[in-house]
Amino acid sequence: MNFFKKEHIILMVIGILAVGFFILRKIDFNSDQKSENQKYALIDSNKESCLNCHIQTSGFSEFHNPEVIGCVSCHLGNPKANHIEDAHKDMVLIPGNLSDADKTCGKCHVNELYKIKHSLMTTNSGLVAVDKFIFGEADSPDHHYHIKDLKYTAADKHMRDLCANCHLGAEKSEFGEITQLSRGGGCNACHLNYSDKAVADLETYLNSDKIQLPKVHPATDIFVKDEHCFGCHSRSSRISTNYMGWHETLLDEKDVINKEGYKTFEDGRIYSFQGEDVHHSKGMLCVDCHSSHEVMGDGNDYLHEEKAVSLNCSDCHYKDKPNTIDHKDLDAESALVFLHRKYKHADKRILAVKKDGHPLVNTFVDENDEAFLIGKGDGKLHPIHKQSDICSRDSAHKNISCSACHAQWTPRCIGCHNTYSKDDKNGYDLLVKKMVVGQWIEYISEFNADKPAMGVRFEDDKKMIEPAMPGMVLTIDHKSFSGDKNAKNTFHRLYAPNSPHTISKEVRDCKSCHSNPAAIGYGNGKLIYNTSKAYGQWLFKAEYDINPNDGLPEDAWIPFLEKQEAKIFSTRSDFRPFTIKEQKRILLVGACLQCHQDSSKVMQQTIESGLDPILLKISKNCILPKN
């Protein structure tokens, strides 16, 4: 009888393991999309010789402990050999780089590796596409590329010299933790974590000429910190530094000695404090909002980052009812994250992103319909507030993104000149990481930080007003690269859609959009409403000089209430500045605001019901603009 029970228990365990294995291996892609390696490595850690030398080593994460998966599943090598040279043959000292991930991490994490290989963090497709478009090497910014395929055209060399550092395919070739200076490293870029003891042990190991073996191993786990994001996302639109409240300047360290409000980062860049994102002030990490489904991608090839990001502010700060999912319906990836983070809210509804349905497993909605977020960094419980009354009842701004009103500031550079120095012996190819002769050099004019300008995202008949920032306001000296004496410089004034991670609870006031020249696209200056005649007239005096290339102020996007002569004005084919008709509509409200305060009854009615019904009952004393 005891044997019979024991036999049944064994069969039950095997059955449970089989079901668990099936669940964990559930694939979200069609069969023709799967990675070539579809099976876990067969692991028998008891027969590995590694621990004969690497004894009493600790620091491993719970699910990557050698007692569970062995050493060879990550580091390869020969687990049957006892001699050091034989045991280390074909060993991978730093596993996780995309060059070897198929043999290391990807043996178990097949789906994740597939998605990473197709993510924009690996391909950099959008960056390459826009650069090629601006250099005249492509007819659109919407072609798909992979940064590893860069050659040596003018645009490709421009990328190699200035932009090709930040992609997951960049190799991590040295031991050590992820820092502000880290770039790439495949799986390590997000999942490698060194404890203080692991750092100290590594230093001892290196200082002993690699004789005194470390006792504490770095962990490989899902506990992603903001430091993992910083290396790459502190460049370009500088999301990481913006989120922390820091804006890059062109100052030298000697300029800010003993000055408050400035900070020098590890690469020597000087930043001024402009105001941190409200989520950062609450202690929230990047991954509190951007889950694995967005960070690693979903397996699809996207042209630009805004297409790959599905999360929206309203997914957490919803208007009426939240979009939720039950724990039992979680996909395998989300279920594993829930398990690894040891969450306890399996009995509660979990917020899900409306656009693609992926769950935010660190959130839940309780029995009172109150939503909460569990901080992935500190474990604190953060109440999630619904949209404010003014947001939820706002009819006039229903096609305006949340960040258009809630962003405190965004970087706003004036422009740069790009020239090629063919004899420069200090060139450095960021893609292959080696010194070269000849490089593109950027001469930057000015960095500013201010409230973002606005642009229009359009698709079919839908329009959404979103923040915009100078994307590529630049001059390209083509002759310096080609050597063709007849080649002419080209000038581009392109703005880009922007997601300022500088959100505040407070919103920008009405005038900061409706009578602010920089917000509309004219650049900084004085926008004056003249009512000395029987009609109103808007007048604009620019702060910056006129650029001779296109006759616009240096910091402008569009001319003041005149036809846009440029045929290309954005880094996207579905994003544009305001038309003259839209500008006049914005300035019409700006005219009203010359007399009526934001909080006045008439302006509040305009927000709730829109502008047109209010215009039907305006006073005879109102002076409306002619232009």
User: Residue 57 carries which DSSP code?
Assistant: -
Tell me if 48 sits within 8 A of 133, measured CB to CB: no
Long-range contact set of residues 192-196: C-beta below 8 Å, sequence gap at least 24 = 192/96, 192/218, 192/219, 192/220, 193/61, 193/218, 193/219, 193/220, 193/221, 193/223, 193/225, 194/218, 194/219, 195/59, 195/219
pLDDT tier at 44, thresholds 50, 70, 90: low
pLDDT in tens, 315-362: 999 988 999 999 999 999 999 999 999 999 999 999 999 999 999 999
Query: What is the spatial distance between Cα 115 and Cα 34, in angstroms, rounded to a whole number?
Result: 10
SS3 419: strand
CA distances from 619 to 355, 514, 596, 609 (A): 44, 20, 12, 18
pLDDT of the residue at 32: 37
pLDDT of the residue at 46: 62
3-state secondary structure 361-395: CCEEECCCCCEEEECCCCCCEEEECCCCHHHHCCC
Tell me if 442 sits within 8 A of 162, measured CB to CB: yes
pLDDT of the residue at 45: 53
User: Residue 136 carries which DSSP code?
Assistant: T
Task: Please give the average per-residue pLDDT across 437-449, as a whole number.
Answer: 93
Residues sharing a CB contact under 8 Å with residue 144, sequence separation 6 or more, in sequence order: 123, 125, 129, 301, 303
Q: Which residue has the higher pLDDT, 612 or 260?
A: 260
pLDDT over threshold 70, residue 267: yes
pLDDT over threshold 80, residue 497: yes
Task: Please give the average per-residue pLDDT across 208-230, as a whole number.
Answer: 95
pLDDT tier at 34, thresholds 50, 70, 90: very low
- Average pLDDT score over the chain: 90
Query: What is the spatial distance between Cα 522 and Cα 556, in angstroms, rounded to a whole number?
Result: 5
pLDDT in tens, 521-565: 999 999 999 998 888 999 999 999 999 999 999 999 999 999 988
pTM: 0.89
